[in-house]
Chain A
Amino acid sequence: MIDYEEELEKFLPALEVEEAEATISQHDCTDLTDIMRQMINEVKRNNQ
């Protein structure tokens, strides 16, 4: 059974075109390659 109030909460406001720039700057683009590089750097630092 669907709970109306609960479902309504899941709907988020949509963004206007002018807000696209803010969305891009806030968007987290970290990928696995970044994480791998970060790990390699940390391992290297620990070995030194």
Chain B
Amino acid sequence: MNVIEKIKQFSNYYYNIGLKRAQVRDLSGAIEMLEKSLQFNKANVEARNLLGLVYYETGEIVLALREWVLSANYKKEDNKAIGYIQEIQGDVHLLTSTNQTVRYYNNALESAKHGQLDMSIIQLKKAVKLCPKFIRAYQLLALLYMHQGTYMKAKEILRTAGRIDRNNTTTLRYQKQVNDTLRMDVNTHKKTDKADRSLGTVVQHETYVAQSNLLDHQLWRASLNIIIGLIVGVLIAYFLILPSQEDKASALVKNQLQEANTTISSKNVKINDLTEQVEGLTRQLGTMNEEQTSTSSEIALYQKMLMAYVKYVDGDYVGAGTLIDSVDETAVSEDMQGTYDTVKAKINEEYMKSLLKTAGDYYNQSKFDDAISTYQRIMAIDENYMDGEAMYYAAQSYRKNGDNQKAIVLYQKVIDNYPETQKAYNAQSYLDGMK
């Protein structure tokens, strides 16, 4: 047998001891032996798998996984460790609860180190509820109970831990401490009870004698105390409670009044705002109506201008002139003034010619009323049209129509405006003949 074989034999020897200890639930002992076995032969798959199982049984799932993964690495086929790993990895609930347990435990440890024992105990209770085999959590919980002086609770916890791992040295040490302390407490109680009982007998006798004398006196004093108490109570109610209640009620009413005033003033402000808004909107509406009216009249004006131009193009100069004449020149906007002037000038040029011809026709036909009104239209546009032609024939028409007064006025105008002309000479001779 070579050295390597001898070493493997040692490894198997410790594995067998570990197995026996695990079978009797001496898990700590088993861990110790199995670790020794692996120190001789790290590739002892049986020992490593069993060590993983023992760790799993004490709630150390991460350590169990470590051993099984290493085992699977040494023997890739026909290895129970592969099955264990798959089983754990496939159980999502187990993984989640394991992590949660670890967090509870770690938090508890941290809290304990910071002196927050109650918090730590709560966390540990949660940890052992999630993982009822977690030896470390039980031991820490027992230690905290012991530190708090609640030894009975510690005893109960250690008993549970002992059922999982029988020969765990930490559990055993804590149990011994708990048992010693509880035993000491029992002895102290016994002594105290004895002392209390002997002292009680003496005092009992003395008390009995004095009791009867005191009874009457005590009854009288108790009645007096009750009456005084009642009087004081009534006085307190009258002088302290009632005024305070009245003050409270008055303060309440005051507050309510103040709140109501605040509400009213805020409402008034709101009403003023709304009134201003209404006024503003009314003003806006008026402006808009005005704008709309002016826009409508502007549109009518431009329609007239357009129609006058259409008539002008069609050769209806009289119609065009009449229309353009009816346009209110003051209503034409500055932008349109140029266009209006151009259109009007063009139309009037032909319009005046037409009017003059029409008026002449009326005159020749001796229709002097029509002639007068037509000449008046020409003069309304341009009084001096054709160097006073319309003015002169208007005067002639008045004279022939028998209206000498108007004729004289117009003859005089012709003489004044166009002196040294044929029209002026004729006008003068007619004037002379009329006088």
Alpha-carbon gap, A36 to B106, bound state (A)? 40
Tell whether B42 is near chain A: CB-to-CB under 8 Å: yes
Within 8 A of B (CB), among A30-48: 30-34, 36
B40 touches A32 (CB 8 A): yes
Alpha-carbon gap, A29 to B7, bound state (A)? 15
Alpha-carbon gap, A31 to B35, bound state (A)? 10
Closest Cβ–Cβ distance, residue B269 to chain A (whole Å):
64
**Size band of the interface chain A makes with B:** 20 to 34
Interface of A is mostly: helix
Alpha-carbon gap, A8 to B203, bound state (A)? 49
Closest Cβ–Cβ distance, residue B37 to chain A (whole Å):
10
Within 8 A of B (CB), among A1-48: 1-2, 4, 7-8, 10-11, 13-20, 23-24, 27, 29-34, 36
B41 touches A32 (CB 8 A): yes
Q: A2-B177, A17-B61, A20-B69 are in contact. Are A11 and B136 (CB under 8 A)?
A: yes
Tell whether B103 is near chain A: CB-to-CB under 8 Å: yes
- Please give, as numbers and ranges, the residues of chain A lying within 8 Å of B65 by CB-CB distance: 17, 20
B41 touches A14 (CB 8 A): no
Q: A1-B177, A17-B95 are in contact. Are A27 and B66 (CB under 8 A)?
A: yes
Count chain B residues whose beta carbon lies closer than 8 angstroms to a beta carbon of A: 41
Alpha-carbon gap, A20 to B66, bound state (A)? 6
Q: A11-B136, A17-B65 are in contact. Are A4 and B147 (CB under 8 A)?
A: yes
Q: A7-B143, A30-B42, A36-B7 are in contact. Are A13 and B106 (CB under 8 A)?
A: yes
- Please give, as numbers and ranges, the residues of chain B lying within 8 Å of A31 by CB-CB distance: 11, 38-43
- Please give, as numbers and ranges, the residues of chain A lying within 8 Å of B143 by CB-CB distance: 2, 4, 7-8
Closest Cβ–Cβ distance, residue B418 to chain A (whole Å):
122
A residues near B (Cβ < 8 Å) are 1-2, 4, 7-8, 10-11, 13-20, 23-24, 27, 29-34, 36
